[in-house]
Chain A
């Protein structure tokens, strides 16, 4: 099974500053046939279900603020919040959907205000 590992487990960032979350997969999520990385990012706030932010590693879901961006390829990926807002306090998860028979999440990264 593909293992997803996020770092750090938590981080505290000042309002307006950049927050960066890394995600590493145990095998490549890149499909050469369509040039896509099968990696998504979700945001989850307490008491709520996860919300899709990013798919195909870097495509922003409709309605997601452009301060959220995804990058990376193969086994190494990054979620960046360019200017942290109070409403961005949440736990963020990466997920691989490359396998087609198992769908694996990272352990989550909690983002807080410093």
Chain B
């Protein structure tokens, strides 16, 4: 079955960088676009970024555009999120999520357990 496992979270100082990873298994990763979604403590879900199956199409939420970079390595079945210049309001659990189909207008049918990022000095 589909498995998504995030890693790389922890405490990071404002202005430093951090890279999150999401290792996928149980489905043909290289044929699916993938998403990052985050959830600040006690708050709701916020979509962060999307990358197409081949990396040629990328979209970001306004709140992270220019600071975060989504990427993937299909040879390793791994999705990444590079957080540059994080701010305290980037503190959240970060989930990777798989869409049900490899089309842009698709809902999410599988999620990882999430990794907590705390931005604090």
Contact = CB atoms under 8 A, between A and B. Distances in A.
A106 B45 CA distance: 8
Contacts of B105: 38, 97-100
Contacts of B59: 101-102
B35 A103 contact: yes
Contacts of A61: 109
Interface in A1-31: 1
Contacts of A104: 47
B46 A105 contact: yes
A97 B106 contact: yes
Interface residues of A, number: 27
Interface string B11-54: 00000000000000000000000010000000011110010000
Given A49-B95, A49-B112, A49-B113, A55 B107 contact: yes
Interface in B51-107: 59, 61-62, 95, 100, 104-107
Contacts of A91: 44
A61 B106 CA distance: 14
Contacts of B114: 49
Interface of A: 1, 38, 40, 42, 44, 48-52, 55, 61, 91, 93, 95, 97-108
10 contacts: A38-B105, A49-B95, A49-B111, A50-B95, A50-B111, A97-B107, A100-B104, A102-B61, A105-B47, A107-B44
